Amino acid sequence: MEKSLSTGSRYTGTPLRVEDCEAIQCWVEQYYSKLFAVALAILNDYYLAQDCVQESLVKAGVNRHKLRDRDKTLAWLCAIVRNECRSILRSNWRRRIKLSAEPIDLHKGDEVSPEHLEMYQVILMLPKQYREVVVLHYINELPLRDTAKILRIRENTCRVRLHRARQTLKKLLEEEGYRR
């Protein structure tokens, strides 16, 4: 008989097996910060992003047999996180709760350098479509092909969004008084 573990997750599907938990633990150690950056860029809420990544990792653990190419694990996990973010954004309870527009405090987790914090705050000012591309391509270091696939857009569209995001970032940074 297989051992299963219960989680505090709202996930109500198949119980997690020990192997699933081991896979999730491995992914947390390797990819959590990158997945969190994706969720934070989309949701713009620290706590919702944490919940989203946790739910996504549980779903990924249960469905890990669907991962076709182990070399594309990060891209696969990013797609799951993005889909979970979309579910959260569409959910009814979120529409009823008015979230504050205060800046995100990135110091709740790992130590973040002031330069990275400043840059991330500026990235969060980008429109959502540009913010997603920047986080996936530059922060998570995914190739354009994988970034486009995760976002379900053409590769050329991805290039255009990156170009426009860089232009917008340059303007925002100049407004903030940032110089190289």
For range 15-40, the mean pLDDT: 82
pLDDT at 102: 39
pLDDT at 92: 55
Cβ atoms 61, 23 nearer than 8 A: yes
Reported as a pLDDT band with limits 50, 70 and 90, residue 67 is confident
What domains does the chain contain, in order, with CATH numbers?
10-102 (1.10.1740), 112-180 (1.10.10.10)
Q: State yes or no: pLDDT of 35 exceeds 90.
A: yes
Q: State yes or no: pLDDT of 47 exceeds 80.
A: yes
pTM score of the predicted model: 0.59
**pLDDT digits 0-9 by tens, 97-133:** 433 333 444 444 555 566 667 777 888 889 989 998 9
* Segments in 4-154 forming alpha helices (H): 18-43, 46-62, 73-90, 92-96, 114-123, 128-134, 144-151
> How many other CB atoms are there within 10 angstroms of residue 36's CB atom?
20
Q: State yes or no: pLDDT of 36 exceeds 80.
A: yes
Cβ atoms 80, 59 nearer than 8 A: yes
pLDDT at 136: 87
Q: How far apart are CA 165 and CA 138, in angstroms?
A: 11
pLDDT at 98: 39
